[in-house]
Structure 1
Amino acid sequence: MLAQYSSLGCNALDAYCLCNNVDFSNGLRDCSNGACGTAVASTVIAFGSAYCSTAFATHKPTTTGVGALPSCGQTCFNNMLAQYSQLGCPSPQDSYCLCNNVDFSNGLRDCSNGACGTAVASTVIAFGSAYCSTASATHTAAVTGVGSLPACGQTCFNNMLGQYSQLGCTSPDPKCLCKNVNFGYGLRDCSNGACGTAVASTVIAFGSSYCASATASP
């Protein structure tokens, strides 16, 4: 996966850039499940999660204004902001909500690769990563109890907690669960299917706040 840095829109060994592309963790997961078997793969996936946690923790965002991007990048970024409603967010100013939907970064990546070419697109993707890093750093999570979710969301959330063993954890420990991208993906997929996309955004936001609190806890 490290060797695929170019196709992932990154410079060589730029861990922060690699980890901001969901194809990196998805590729590691699929490769290790196929090559190692699911039992051993959980160890590889946990290593990848720890690798990315370190990359995020040590990254120093240097977000400049969108005006610093080439025009193709500005167009792509503003187009993604304009899709806030489809992304399940209340406004284009809610950067935390936008960044918690993988379609935001995936859309920015795909648009910039197509409109700018891969060489220039890496700059646009890096801008998006820094934008989202700042959004996460400045967000104050307000986690309420799971009981505040609709019944379909509670079922999905509790189902994911119940899968702690398959997620490589010894107990339903939030820190361990949230280190495995499949926890967030599973909650997203279940809630989209069980609740519908409109309601699912609330469940996904709850999961994001749950993991933000887990990560922030000592």
Structure 2
Amino acid sequence: MTEPRSPERPASGRSVLITGGNRGIGRAIAEAFIAQGDRVAVTTRAGGAPDGALELKADVTDRAAIDAAFTAAEEAHGPVEVLVANAGITRDTLLLRMGDDDWDDVLATNLTGTYNVTRRAAKGMLRLKRGRIILISSVVGLLGSPGQVNYAASKAGLVGMARSLARELGPRGITTNVVAPGYVDTDMTAVLTDEQKAGIRDQVPLGRYAHPDEVAGTVTWLASDAAAYVTGAVIPVDGGLGMGH
């Protein structure tokens, strides 16, 4: 006999919080949730949240600031039902040239920062007995990349974090999944030379970069009722670059 599904709120009108939601992939994700009628809050360090989103100035490495941001989002929109941990930085250089700060800053933002926001979000979700946690990793965390030891380590760590959370929080109706984008047409890739861009495209079976909206579509699907039985998954949005990993 099939067990009944746990009660869910309607797919629209939920309280959604996205870290790093002012540009690139994070902004596209925020706009996608806004377009489907959700109540969206975004954390930023520099400002510039999309229209319709509640802007919260916070650095994910600052636990007090994150707690204050969640409190503000909860007061405005109700308990956070969907968390998208997207905030991340790069400090690319070869291992023997990598300074301690290059390592520490990337791990503090990408990995520890994600820990900070998921721990805070889980408190409210456990009380609700439902929730969706979506961590934005990278194909680099699965494949590796020269000059990105720090970034790859931080993004690979999100996979272990998500799968542990899936087991820990799943019995309370909370799913945790990872989206691993490949090369996406954003400000971060705009700095590459034409030669570098061509070299990357040659490695991608689909022969192009992703558009941020394509990543956003995967994220909103994971937050939808259609993905209610998906947890602990790593979903690549990479044009086939990381297949088999």
TM-score normalised by structure 2 residue count? 0.24
Would you tell me which structure has more strand in proportion to its own residues?
2
